[in-house]
Structure 1
Amino acid sequence: MKITSRVAVAFAFLSLCGAGTLQAAPVDGARIQAADREPGNWMSHGRSYDEQRYSPLAKIDQANVGQLGLAWHYKLDVDRGTEATPIVVDGVMYTTGAYSIVYALDARSGKLLWKYDPKVPRDWSGNGCCDVVNRGVAVWKGKVYVGSFDGRLIALDGKTGKPVWTTDTVIDRNRSYTITGAPRVVKDKVIIGNGGAEMGVRGYVSAYDATSGKLLWRFFTVPGDPRQPPENKAMEMARKTWSGDAYFAQGGGGTVWDSMAYDPELDLLYIGTGNGSMWNRKLRSPGGGDNLFLSSIVALKPDSGEYVWHYQTTPGDTWDYTATQHIILADLRIKGELRKVLMQAPKNAFFYVIDRKTGELISAEKFAPSNWASHVDMKTGRPVENPEADWTKEARLIYPSPFGAHNWQPMSFNPKTGLVYIPMQETVIVLTPDNNAKYVRKGVFNVGLQPFDVPEDAKALQQVADAHKGHLLAWDPVTQKAVWDQPHVTIWNGGTLSTAGGLVFQGSADGRAVAYAADSGKKLWEAPANTGVIAGPVTYSVDGEQYVTFMAGWGGAFALTGAMANVAKVQPEARVLTFKLGGMAQLPPPKKTVTPLPKLLPVTADAATLGLGRALYNGYCSVCHGFNAIGGGVLPDLRYLTPEKHQLFPGILAGAYAQKGMPVFADLLPPEYQAALQQYIIKRAHDLEQDLAQQGKPAQEPAKK
């Protein structure tokens, strides 16, 4: 029996009041498939199984969107990267913040109904590449499912937030497995992948029984131990595309850390896979090969995890060009024929339209600048690589960089306009090989390249920052051409939402919530967010009132690296921001507290030692504390270490701050290396003092909690 909107509202009311035996979040597959009959809800990660992120709601439209005001806001516990897509069912919002903390909120008022903290050990922070983020929950038949950063899959009672069951998804606790993606539920199976390719893991996606948490199937994305027989026919096929056995020690990669979609008619589950471990294919697979299933879209049978077909976007990937970016399913009329297609705009800058039944490539064109490949050969379906982009022999300028032409921030598709709205970005980098690299241990990057050589000079650094450009791009997937383009201050802007009201909503890295006309790209409305907005917004309705919610909170890979991210000039202030027509709520003023530069210790090292310290810093510390010790505002800027903290420096490297999230590096750095690293940090504090003096500014920075 299908649940009508009236019955659904009754369910919500009884659940919130604790009456009867009805459960909160009574979502199932039939309800998700019929999502358009309940446009007021947002019941799955992409609203519907096709992941279009399009809402039929139209009360807020181009004519009145300028009247949007803040309806309510809710402060999250941890001011770090906020990447979740909220789920809204029958007046209740389920969302997550950093460290995988789950919140159930009254969608009308923002009142907290319950909260669940999975107590992720803070010393697990160093096992992830890109902040302690979480992209949200799934709901199914009264339960709420979340993947914790340390690799657990947890089922919660949707009414109380109490744990029902927990299972460990990690196959090897000696490796750096994480979960940052949102689960999906298909046919009573909770499907989740893991992260960790940069750190040296073997990728896979797993399905668990929604009622008990029992593992039902697991699909590995790269081969396992070459001394053992392949697990199945798919792994037998994949193994033929790898050479040597070094990949096994390195992990292989191919993690399924984000995108998935499901076609109920074809009964196919689509997953996107990540980069190789190591990135450097000369080390990972010395004899060459495509290295299946790295950087691929793979179709599986959801009942068994059985392989059906794949399309590899970047064969033998060596640039961190993951295909884990958002996957959208749609029916498009192409050359007079209605085709069931799958669309993806992954990091590598090509927009792919693929037949989702067979895996046949229909078209592929560049949606952003790139120099690694000239085009995709439509006869073979393979990219035509540029030999000058092979950095495994010598340093090369590459674009897009590993930040990608489009990263995890979700895009959306509007069936009325026929356009896909992509958070596109222009990024560049110089990659330099380290062809002697070997896997060391968990918690350490495993990529096979030299530390990034970002300039210290302020003018040169600004030039690098200026080369990184953000866009909101409206793309026609049939003609494979841009229709309109709205520029942003920098990259790392939020995901998109399109609506029947003719609107596209997106948050920006420089701290705004914005609405554009879906047909023309004209900016129609914006509101301050007090922090960078990187998540994808949602819209829903309760009691006839339409709301738009942005999860706000600066963070993630680009924000942590610091130097270039500073152009956004925002602080991490994690909140749920919900708007409605005529909303009158007010945000508190943004954080502006400053701390003076502490008394500086003397620089006693020679130039060679400082050079060593710089290499060590950018090799081990920059991914969290910023290139060249320029903090991005999310984690402490080490140039502001006090003399007292410097006295503790060896202890900090040895684990004194492990429970605050600071990884242990003392085992990798002998005392003379630790001293060189510390001297470089002190030297950069002196550089900052000089820069501020030349600018006539006081030596200060935004305070950290």
Structure 2
Amino acid sequence: MLRTQSTAAALCLALTLGTACSPKNSDHPTSSNSAEASFAAVNHERLANADREPGNWMSHGRTYGEQRYSPLKEVQQSNVKDLGLAWSFDLGAKRGIEATSIVVDGVMYLTSTWNVVYALDAANGKQLWRYDPKIEKDVMVKGCCGPVNRGVAVWNGQVFVGTLDGRLIALNAANGDVNWEVTTVDQSKPYTITGAPRVVKGKVVIGNGGAEFGVRGYISAYDANTGDMAWRFYTVPGNPESGFENSAMEMAAKTWNGEWWVIGGGGTVWDSMAYDPELDLLYFGVGNGSPWNREIRSPGGGDNLFLSSIVAVRPDTGDFVWHYQTTPGDSWDYTATQHIILADIELKGQTRKVLMQAPKNGFFYLIDRTDGTLLSAENYIDINWATHVDMETGRPVEVEGARYVDKPYTIFPSFLGGHNWHPMSYSPDTGLVYIPVLDMPAVHGQPEHFEYRPGISNTGTSGIIGSLPDDQAQRDALKPLMKGRLLAWNPKTQKEAWRVEHSGPWNGGTLSTAGNLVFQGTADGKFVAYRADTGERLWDFPTQTGVVAAPITYTVNGEQYVSINVGWGGVFALAFGEYVQPESLPNAARVLTFKLGAKGKLPTLDWQPRVVFNPPAQTGTEASISQGFSIYQETCMGCHGLNAVSGLLVPDLRGSGFLHSLEAWNSVVRDGALQKNGMPAFAKWIDEAQSSAIRDYIIQQAWRGRNLQSPQEPEK
């Protein structure tokens, strides 16, 4: 474990930057006279009683229960039309911004891409400090979804950030100095961190990602003051010959077959957590298997615990208490890492402590959070892999053929799920949950041959079967199948209350408020307010870029603000960006903050075409192009888009000048000439012949794109 300690004294930045040093919106006593005590002075009492301080947003979901509901109602349905831009802050990035901001006593803490942390004056957006963890860009070879992350946590004068390269860093909340740093993963393996930490009872809890790449998942807790690891809970068992860490792993091992530990098993905890102070239970969601395909991962079947499960542990020790598995033996990347919400709801005349989740598999689950008992489960979108959840067994009843063992299967929802990481919210006023829904298919099929390649993606499914057609008419015909909506769901009745259809999938998370409002950003560049009870659209603001993050609301000096971090990104934007994001919509990462009566405007952004086609002569053979297509789909698609059609986030390879020289092409693909820009060297995975085949395929796709603009024959 690497740890560094900073000895720099914290100075009150309010001396030079304004009044951010004095706590606002809070009547809690300050326990120290030091400058640090005025910054992020969050403790267990404040978080456990967050509703007493509705003007703050002190944790990822505002409260430990992660409802993302605010009791604030200065901004409400009758006056939201008067909401205007109060201030904006440019994050200096053109990639995805997924972070939820934290606001404590008038100071906002948030992250940009590459885990750069900012502290801003929440009243006017002035920068107080900035911290850059200086991540080596070639770590992107380990990431599925770009250099994204979902924000920070704060506690007792510190700001905590998990970095893409697997570190957990504690910063002085007053000035951004590093207090301590620990490495939470084996950095020789393809682990990453994209989730936001949570702090429970003085312990910083963090998971990681990388299941597609071949790792063993776990969640860890670190002492907030020292960085010492308090406990670690593995989500899948290791090699039985090495012994099991606890009885939970011994139990889980009975649900696996084969030598799953060679690839790692997967089960990374890359997003959701929630905590119940009364029950003293920490809940977290577990991800997919490594690889996705159970036929390869666990030959002969098995439920493969704790993949695609919700797990409850004791936050002091990490001791296992209960679990519920949403997708036993998952083969579709149907993770259960999606947002978890805790609430007390009256069911059949009895108040029940429930846990709610709408995971990827398309079912909405209502679970008794005291013991994991399933209370109800109904599909919140149309699905075709299961007919229903059997309430006696708690298991989905699968449709024959859905596991694509004998032939490919077109499945709803896709591997992106009916709901992905974008946070949903719950309003105790309406009793509704507001879900950012995706509704699109995917085709799964067995690969002709599976060979585990350590360090890069290994889904165990056919990349060619799951690709898009090259024919433009066929591609255009798929667009109506790629849907996205805001869905208001009644968890008591397990029925839809209302819906708003969007132009496509991958829209932002939601915020609900006591003003009878629901806020959401959209993929096509709008920030919108709806009536929470009916879904009526009441207000919108053009954001100049797609939105994937979730909004927050807070007060400074008694005035309510609504804030959203904007910037188009994530896996859908990388792989399917052409289907939602208009080419004319640039990508500018910003914080946009609104209040009643404000009149601010955003500056005009320059627009440039996504790709300029200038392909060289096509010298590749049909066999080489076909081979290149297969390798591209398995190795390159995650960053550069399906069928080499990129979104706005990375260079579109079809317009690359490196195509004009095989030597120049290999210098990038194999030798890492652009490593500093985030393009790793792939020499250990791709030989010269394979690299040449990929180039042949990209040249073919470049000519295809050029011909769509002005038809002509490719040069020979």
Q: Shorter-normalised TM-score: what interval? A: over 0.9
Following superposition, the deviation at residue 675 of structure 1 comes to 1.4
1:348 alignment partner in structure 2: 361
Structure 2 residue corresponding to 1:173, chosen from 187, 197, 203: 187
Q: In 2, distance between residues paired with 1:609 and 1:594? A: 30
2:108 alignment partner in structure 1: 93
Could you tell me whether the CA contact under 8 Å between 2:436 and 2:485 is conserved in 1? yes
Instruction: Name whichever of 469-478 and 644-653 sits farther off.
Output: 644-653
Question: Unaligned 5+ residue runs, structure 2?
Answer: 1-20
2:16 alignment partner in structure 1: none
Instruction: Evaluate the alpha carbon distance shift between residue 588 and residue 14 of structure 1 in structure 2; reply closer, same or farther with a 3 A threshold.
Output: farther
Spell out, residue by residue over 1:41-77, the C-alpha distance to the aligned partner (whole angstroms, 9 max, x if none). Answer: 0001000000000000000000000111111111113
Following superposition, the deviation at residue 564 of structure 1 comes to 4.5
Q: In 2, distance between residues paired with 1:183 and 1:173? A: 19
1:317 alignment partner in structure 2: 330
Q: In 2, distance between residues paired with 1:662 and 1:516? A: 41
Matched, 1:283 2:296: yes
1:266 alignment partner in structure 2: 279
Could you tell me whether the CA contact under 8 Å between 1:566 and 1:632 is conserved in 2? no
Matched, 1:500 2:519: no
Question: Unaligned 5+ residue runs, structure 1?
Answer: 1-5, 696-705
Any residues of structure 2 matched to 1:130-529 within 5 Å, and which? 130-170=145-185, 172-245=186-259, 247-434=260-447, 436-451=449-464, 452-529=466-543
Q: In 2, distance between residues paired with 1:248 and 1:94? A: 39
For the residue of structure 1 that corresponds to 2:37, the secondary structure is coil
Q: In 1, distance between residues paired with 2:170 and 2:190? A: 23
Could you tell me whether the CA contact under 8 Å between 1:439 and 1:446 is conserved in 2? no
Following superposition, the deviation at residue 572 of structure 1 comes to 2.4
Any residues of structure 2 matched to 1:524-535 within 5 Å, and which? 524-535=538-549
Spell out, residue by residue over 1:193-248, the C-alpha distance to the aligned partner (whole angstroms, 9 max, x if none). Answer: 00000111100000000000000000000001122111100000000000111x11
2:3 alignment partner in structure 1: none
Could you tell me whether the CA contact under 8 Å between 1:461 and 1:564 is conserved in 2? no
Could you tell me whether the CA contact under 8 Å between 1:599 and 1:643 is conserved in 2? no
Any residues of structure 2 matched to 1:97-116 within 5 Å, and which? 97-116=112-131
Spell out, residue by residue over 1:606-659, the C-alpha distance to the aligned partner (whole angstroms, 9 max, x if none). Answer: 222211121122221111111111111110001111257645100101211112
Following superposition, the deviation at residue 559 of structure 1 comes to 0.3
Spell out, residue by residue over 1:675-700, the C-alpha distance to the aligned partner (whole angstroms, 9 max, x if none). Answer: 111111112111111101269xxxxx
2:656 alignment partner in structure 1: 641
Instruction: Name whichever of 552-561 and 432-441 sits farther off.
Output: 432-441
1:700 alignment partner in structure 2: none
Could you tell me whether the CA contact under 8 Å between 1:11 and 1:24 is conserved in 2? no
Could you tell me whether the CA contact under 8 Å between 1:424 and 1:472 is conserved in 2? yes
Amino acid at match of 2:85: L
1:659 alignment partner in structure 2: 676
Instruction: Evaluate the alpha carbon distance shift between residue 19 and residue 583 of structure 1 in structure 2; reply closer, same or farther with a 3 A threshold.
Output: farther
Following superposition, the deviation at residue 507 of structure 1 comes to 0.3
Q: Percent identity?
A: 53
Q: TM-score, normalised by structure 1?
A: 0.95
For the residue of structure 2 that corresponds to 1:690, the secondary structure is helix
1:692 alignment partner in structure 2: 709
How big is the alpha-carbon RMSD for the aligned residues of Structure 1 and Structure 2?
2.0
Could you tell me whether the CA contact under 8 Å between 1:494 and 1:507 is conserved in 2? yes
Q: In 2, distance between residues paired with 1:194 and 1:133? A: 13
Instruction: Evaluate the alpha carbon distance shift between residue 108 and residue 684 of structure 1 in structure 2; reply closer, same or farther with a 3 A threshold.
Output: same
Instruction: Evaluate the alpha carbon distance shift between residue 595 and residue 519 of structure 1 in structure 2; reply closer, same or farther with a 3 A threshold.
Output: closer
Instruction: Evaluate the alpha carbon distance shift between residue 611 and residue 216 of structure 1 in structure 2; reply closer, same or farther with a 3 A threshold.
Output: same
Instruction: Evaluate the alpha carbon distance shift between residue 684 and residue 12 of structure 1 in structure 2; reply closer, same or farther with a 3 A threshold.
Output: farther
Q: In 2, distance between residues paired with 1:283 and 1:490? A: 33
For the residue of structure 2 that corresponds to 1:389, the secondary structure is coil
2:11 alignment partner in structure 1: none
Instruction: Evaluate the alpha carbon distance shift between residue 338 and residue 196 of structure 1 in structure 2; reply closer, same or farther with a 3 A threshold.
Output: same
Q: TM-score, normalised by structure 2?
A: 0.93
Spell out, residue by residue over 1:348-377, the C-alpha distance to the aligned partner (whole angstroms, 9 max, x if none). Answer: 000000000010000000001111110000
For the residue of structure 1 that corresponds to 2:262, the secondary structure is helix
Q: How many residues align?
A: 687
For the residue of structure 2 that corresponds to 1:22, the secondary structure is helix
2:698 alignment partner in structure 1: 681
Instruction: Name whichever of 546-555 and 590-599 sits farther off.
Output: 590-599
For the residue of structure 2 that corresponds to 1:388, the secondary structure is coil
For the residue of structure 2 that corresponds to 1:416, the secondary structure is coil
Could you tell me whether the CA contact under 8 Å between 2:25 and 2:56 is conserved in 1? no
Could you tell me whether the CA contact under 8 Å between 2:526 and 2:541 is conserved in 1? yes
Q: In 1, distance between residues paired with 2:693 and 2:288? A: 32
Instruction: Name whichever of 502-511 and 452-461 sits farther off.
Output: 452-461
Could you tell me whether the CA contact under 8 Å between 2:36 and 2:157 is conserved in 1? no
Amino acid at match of 2:300: G
For the residue of structure 1 that corresponds to 2:554, the secondary structure is strand
Following superposition, the deviation at residue 394 of structure 1 comes to 2.1
Q: In 2, distance between residues paired with 1:361 and 1:179? A: 30
Instruction: Evaluate the alpha carbon distance shift between residue 667 and residue 10 of structure 1 in structure 2; reply closer, same or farther with a 3 A threshold.
Output: closer
Could you tell me whether the CA contact under 8 Å between 2:616 and 2:659 is conserved in 1? no
Structure 2 residue corresponding to 1:41, chosen from 56, 59, 75: 56
For the residue of structure 2 that corresponds to 1:61, the secondary structure is coil
1:650 alignment partner in structure 2: 666
Could you tell me whether the CA contact under 8 Å between 1:561 and 1:632 is conserved in 2? yes
Q: In 2, distance between residues paired with 1:266 and 1:13? A: 25
Spell out, residue by residue over 1:550-582, the C-alpha distance to the aligned partner (whole angstroms, 9 max, x if none). Answer: 110001000001464455443321110111111
Could you tell me whether the CA contact under 8 Å between 1:189 and 1:207 is conserved in 2? yes
Q: In 2, distance between residues paired with 1:407 and 1:141? A: 32
For the residue of structure 1 that corresponds to 2:636, the secondary structure is helix
Instruction: Evaluate the alpha carbon distance shift between residue 566 and residue 681 of structure 1 in structure 2; reply closer, same or farther with a 3 A threshold.
Output: farther
Structure 1 residue corresponding to 2:633, chosen from 604, 618, 643: 618
Instruction: Evaluate the alpha carbon distance shift between residue 421 and residue 392 of structure 1 in structure 2; reply closer, same or farther with a 3 A threshold.
Output: same
Q: In 1, distance between residues paired with 2:627 and 2:475? A: 20
Instruction: Evaluate the alpha carbon distance shift between residue 123 and residue 14 of structure 1 in structure 2; reply closer, same or farther with a 3 A threshold.
Output: farther
